[in-house]
Amino acid sequence: MNRADSHLWMADPATSPWGCFWEGLQTPWWGFWYLWRRPSLWRYAVMPIVMNLLITSLVLLVLVGGGVWLFAWIHPWFAGGEGWTGWIWFAVEAGVWLLAAAASCVAAFLTWRVLSGILCGYFFGKLVEEVESELGLADRDIRTVSLGYEIWDVGLGVALLLGSTSGFLLLGAVPLIGPPLGFLGMSWYGLYATGVEYLSYPQAIRGSRLFDQYRFGRQQHFHTLGVGAVQTAGQLLPLFGAATVTAGVVGCVLLHRRLTNKLSIVSVEAIAKS
């Protein structure tokens, strides 16, 4: 690692909305680049990748197995109708299946979010500590996040996600304008919350708590949305997505440094002019 390598976290951040969003999208690439230059860090990156794959496989297995069991349990209730009554029972069964599928997918997503947030989050924290130490953060300034705080923050984040989703679902019930506005609102908040989550790791080891992290996400809104978009895409990719998400965590450390370096310069200049 030489002085030229510091361009990722010492350069001034973008200021335009699209430029900020684009920098957020690049974080996995920055992370892969940094890990390639520092192969000793891969021993800290392997465990969250493995945990991500195991959690995703387990949740999908339970979801598919639960769907098969649910079909065998529900279908006999609606069997036996003939003629037009048969079509009525078929429509009712289809409606029950849609509700059950939606509820199962939501439950699976929340389970995955909680497990990955707690288990992968612990190993992400260790990886971030090593990266920050290499970048010059003193050991006395590193605050290791305890498992209790990790569980509390993940639970609070999931509660905020559930509350916002419920609100946007209610908005979607409004005729005409409701469905598109509700969909856009849920999409926006999903990306924003995901971006806040991954940008939280370099903040958490400095003692920042959840609401401070959301405040930072609002200040760096388009950077946060960019991070959320690329990390959401990584979560949906099979196999390679786990490595992309982990590299994105390292990239978020570099992005956070770029943003806070710029913010500190602005603060110093403002104080000097006052």
Q: Among 51-55, 84-88, 143-147, 255-259, name the most confident range.
A: 255-259
Residue 237 and residue 112: Cα distance in Å, rounded? 15
Residue 197 and residue 216: Cα distance in Å, rounded? 11
Please determine, for residue 185, whether its predicted confidence score (pLDDT) is greater than 80.
yes
Please determine, for residue 227, whether its predicted confidence score (pLDDT) is greater than 70.
yes
For residue 232, give the nearest of 187, 173, 262, 272 by alpha carbon: 187
Looking at every residue in the chain, the average pLDDT score rounds to: 81
Q: State the DSSP code for 144.
A: P
CA angle 129, 130, 134 (to 5 degrees): 115
- For the stretch 111-122, pLDDT in tens is 888 888 888 888
**How high is the pLDDT of residue 134?**
87
Residue 226 and residue 220: Cα distance in Å, rounded? 10
Residue 64 pLDDT class (50, 70, 90 cuts): confident
Largest Cα–Cα distance of the chain, in whole Å?
84
Please determine, for residue 271, whether its predicted confidence score (pLDDT) is greater than 70.
no
Residue 215 pLDDT class (50, 70, 90 cuts): very high
Q: Rounded to the nearest 5°, which phi and psi values hold at 253?
A: -60, -45
Q: Which runs of consecutive H residues, i.e. helices, occur in the chain?
A: 7-10, 17-25, 27-37, 42-74, 83-115, 121-134, 147-172, 178-204, 210-219, 221-236, 240-273
For residue 116, give the nearest of 154, 160, 159 by alpha carbon: 154
Sign of CA dihedral 268, 201, 22, 185: negative
**How high is the pLDDT of residue 32?**
95
Please determine, for residue 274, whether its predicted confidence score (pLDDT) is greater than 60.
no
Contact assessment for residue 219 and residue 13, using Cβ atoms and an 8 Å cutoff: no
Q: State the DSSP code for 84.
A: H
Location of structure tokens 């959301």: 214
**How high is the pLDDT of residue 69?**
79
Residue 222 pLDDT class (50, 70, 90 cuts): very high
Lowest mean pLDDT among 89-103, 120-134, 216-230, 240-254: 89-103
Location of structure tokens 């005409």: 176
Sequence ranges of the domains in the chain: 3-52+101-268
Tokens of 51: 């945990």
